[in-house]
Structure 1
């Protein structure tokens, strides 16, 4: 439903996507439950090895989009301290071609398997849960940043597209700058600040407006 739009954005921004996941992949309650109980690194490994993602980046970070009445969009920042496959080939003096990738695939797999962990990671997740809303305390639409904290940044409604744009701006700023370099920017505004992103009045009270929010 959003794959075509995402691909268009990624092309325009030169977003370093390694691959898009299966168009048939859906986050089921079982998958969500399996991931939720795992520590972060194991959660990322499980999702990556199982193909439970919608976008896999060249740096091995992944995006997972869960739709429905309570949409949730996640960016799992790769915990590995590792060069991309393209960077690995460049260090060998090779061009990044299908032939070069096939020739060095096993060597790069070893680099992947033996890579050390980053000291810090910055996962990002958007949740929309109207039933859990509490004025001034728990925003219906909010963004989590990092691990093991109580951060919930109040936000407008988001879609998979606007979430990807948010992560692009924060984690891949050069790509965001390329998008802003386009002559026509109006097409960026609609998914970020269009009418469809507005919260119902009953989920956005005066007391909610006191805090700094993403809107």
Structure 2
């Protein structure tokens, strides 16, 4: 306990400095690893440290101790000390499947303007990639822009959310004003769910939403 107290007077209002911990981590197959981290570090930082030790992406992990599951979604910014994680805590690292959907369907304007979703995959804690291929025959002019597409969902407060892609990387960009056009690439969405129900809508307007259950993408 003495290590946690400051030797200087008048500093009681300052937050206590974290101390170094060597945590014992066991994987589901019995391998044991040691992770060194400060007690003042956050749960998210612990996940990142464990991921480095196991050479995996942090969002593919679930950390538990006994019957307790340490959830980044609710406690990611909470310190390890506040969560009661100590050197004597026996942590177990479980691997979980990230979300991956193959050919979930289409977002259509009409029979001649169709966006096919090829893959939907998780690429972070709250990040999803949508690989798409959209075609139009030119009868209604150019294709709408991929950057105006949306992922729609209902958040934890019950509010309906509409999220635009953070980035769009095109592999094919054949854009013709009065003839057949084709765009193919990947949209990356941040701040979105990685399970549960979402809808994808291509372009700025007129395309029908594609409803997807991301939970079905976890094996």
Which one has the largest radius of gyration? 2
TM-score (norm 2): 0.23
When you count helix as a share of all residues, which structure comes out higher? 1
